[in-house]
Amino acid sequence: MDVGNNGNLSCFQELCESRLLAELEKINVKIRNREVCGSDEIYITGLLGNTELRYYIYNDGAEIDDISFEKWDYINPDELCDAFVSAVVARVIPMREKSKI
């Protein structure tokens, strides 16, 4: 695992979270209850807006709802991160329109 500038987080986690936050800001959605968890593998988790939709960003992968994004399914970490962030935004936009999250 390549450790990023944030100590325990991997470079991928820092990149992915940064991109996620930037895209969510564009659609005015905040993350609630962000946590860095785990002992064997450190991961980031949180809830999206006022929903119970939880995301996970692992050392080299990510998950939203029932969709997993694994490193071996993508050419590089950038592509994986972009796919994850796009999936999160696609899930959040319909919820945001219904509940004004």
pTM listed for this prediction: 0.87
Please give the Cα distance from 88 to 83 (Å, whole number): 9
Strand (E) positions, the chain?
31-37, 43-48, 54-57, 61-64, 67-70
How far apart CA 30 and CA 92 sit, in angstroms, is 11
Tell whether the model's pLDDT for residue 8 goes beyond 90.
no
pLDDT computed for residue 51 by the predictor: 87
100 assigned to some structural domain: no
Question: Do residues 85 and 17 touch, judged by C-beta distance below 8 A?
Answer: no
Residue 6 lies in a domain: no
Domain housing 69:
11-92
Does residue 87 lie within any of the structural domains? yes
Domain count for the chain, please give it: 1
Note whether residue 78 is domain-resident: yes
Residues 19, 84, 24: CA angle, nearest 5 degrees: 45
